[in-house]
C-alpha cells in the first residue's frame, strides 16, 4: 500500500505545495464548512491515483487544501462507507494519505441516530468513546510503517481536544453532549430492537462511519476529535420513518454551530 500512497502523494503535491497541519473529514450534509477554506487546490477523488469514489448523496468527493483560521487544512469533502462495497483498506486509504501529506490532527464529523433519551434532533455530541460493530480496518497483512500491530485504543479520542471544544462551546453558547458512538455497517437504518440493544450495550448514538477512520489514524498516532449531529431518534416512542434526505436536511441545520466549533478548534491547534 505504501507504493500506492506515494503515487497519491506525488499527484497531490504536483497541484499543491502546502503541507497540511490538520485533516478534516466532513460527513453527510456537513460539507459547507469547506466553503470557508481559502483554497489553494481542489482535487476530485476520481483524479487522485488509488482514491475510491464517493457514491452517496451529500458526499461531494473532493480533496480541498488551503487555509482555515490561519492553519493549513486538508479536507475530505465526502467519505467512504463499508456499505458502498468498499473494503476497509479502501475506506481508510484517504486517512493514511493525509498522514503522509503531513497532518498532525484529524477532525471528523458525521450524522447519526440518537439512542440516548436525553438527546433530541439537532443536538451535537462529542464522541469520547466508541463501540465498533464493523470489521476492524487493521485486519490483514501488517505494515510496520503504519504503526503497531496492536495499537492501544484507551484514548481513541483526544482528551485535550475534547476539553478545548467544551470551552469553545460554552463561550459560544453551544449545547454539547459527550457520549459513545456505536458503529454499524448499514445501509439499513436500525430496527427498534437494534436501537434498544445498542443502548443496552452502552451507546448514545449510532452511525455508519468515523470509527474505521479513527482506528486507522490512532494506529498512526494521529490525535482525533469527532462530533456527531443527531439527525433522527432511536428512542422508544420517538422512532419515526425517515429518509436519507431527512438526515441531510437535519445535518445542514446544525452546520452553523458545528462550523463555529471546528473553526475555533482549528485556530487553537499548535
Give which of 130, 192, 172 is closest to 155, Cα–Cα: 130
- 83 SS3 class: helix
CB 176 within 8 A of CB 166: yes
Spell 6-27 as b/e; 16+ CB within 10 A means b.
eebbeebeeebebebbbbbbbb
Helix ranges (DSSP H) in 138-243: 159-171, 192-200, 211-219
Q: How far is CA 119 from CA 43, 56, 254, 266, in A?
A: 37, 26, 14, 26
Cβ neighbours around 212 below 10 Å, total: 24
CB 26 within 8 A of CB 121: no
- The architecture of the domain spanning 2-268 is 3-Layer(aba) Sandwich (3.40)
Give which of 121, 127, 119, 13 is closest to 63, Cα–Cα: 13
Would you write out the chain's pLDDT as a tens digit for each of its 270 residues? 889 999 999 999 999 999 999 999 988 766 778 888 998 899 999 999 999 877 655 446 899 999 999 999 999 998 889 999 999 999 999 999 999 999 999 999 999 999 999 999 999 999 999 999 999 999 999 999 999 999 999 999 999 999 999 999 999 999 999 999 999 999 999 999 999 999 999 999 999 999 999 999 999 999 999 999 999 999 998 887 888 788 888 888 888 899 999 999 999 986
CB 181 within 8 A of CB 203: yes
pTM: 0.94
Q: How far is CA 53 from CA 57, 66, 97, 138, 215, in A?
A: 12, 22, 15, 21, 21
Q: How far is CA 177 from CA 26, 107, 114, 163, 242, in A?
A: 19, 17, 11, 12, 23
What's the pLDDT score for residue 210?
A: 97
CB 45 within 8 A of CB 54: yes
Amino acid at each position: 500500500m505504501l507504493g500506492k500512497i506515494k503515487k497519491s502523494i506525488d499527484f497531490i503535491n504536483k497541484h499543491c505545495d502546502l503541507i497540511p497541519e490538520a485533516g478534516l473529514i466532513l460527513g453527510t450534509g456537513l460539507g459547507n464548512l469547506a466553503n470557508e477554506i481559502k483554497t489553494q487546490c481542489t482535487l476530485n477523488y476520481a483524479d487522485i491515483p488509488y482514491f475510491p469514489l464517493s457514491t452517496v448523496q451529500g458526499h461531494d468527493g473532493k480533496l480541498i487544501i488551503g487555509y482555515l483560521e490561519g492553519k493549513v487544512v486538508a479536507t475530505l469533502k465526502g467519505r467512504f462507507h463499508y456499505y458502498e462495497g468498499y473494503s476497509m483498506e479502501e475506506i481508510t486509504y484517504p486517512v493514511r494519505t493525509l498522514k503522509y501529506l503531513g497532518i498532525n490532527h484529524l477532525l471528523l464529523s458525521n450524522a447519526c441516530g440518537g439512542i440516548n433519551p436525553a438527546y433530541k434532533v439537532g443536538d451535537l455530541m462529542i464522541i469520547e468513546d466508541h463501540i465498533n460493530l464493523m470489521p476492524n480496518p487493521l485486519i490483514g497483512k501488517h505494515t510496520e510503517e503504519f504503526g503497531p500491530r496492536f495499537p492501544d485504543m484507551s484514548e481513541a479520542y483526544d482528551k485535550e481536544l475534547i476539553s478545548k471544544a467544551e470551552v469553545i462551546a460554552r463561550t459560544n453558547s453551544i449545547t454539547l453532549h459527550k457520549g459513545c458512538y456505536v458503529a454499524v455497517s448499514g445501509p439499513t437504518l436500525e430496527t427498534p430492537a437494534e436501537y434498544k440493544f445498542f443502548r443496552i450495550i452502552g451507546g448514545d448514538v449510532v452511525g455508519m462511519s468515523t470509527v474505521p477512520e479513527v482506528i486507522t489514524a490512532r494506529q498512526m498516532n494521529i490525535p482525533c476529535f469527532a462530533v456527531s449531529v443527531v439527525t433522527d431518534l432511536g428512542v422508544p416512542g420517538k422512532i419515526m420513518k425517515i429518509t436519507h434526505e431527512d438526515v441531510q436536511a437535519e445535518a445542514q441545520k446544525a452546520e452553523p454551530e458545528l462550523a463555529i466549533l471546528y473553526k475555533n478548534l482549528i485556530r487553537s491547534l499548535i
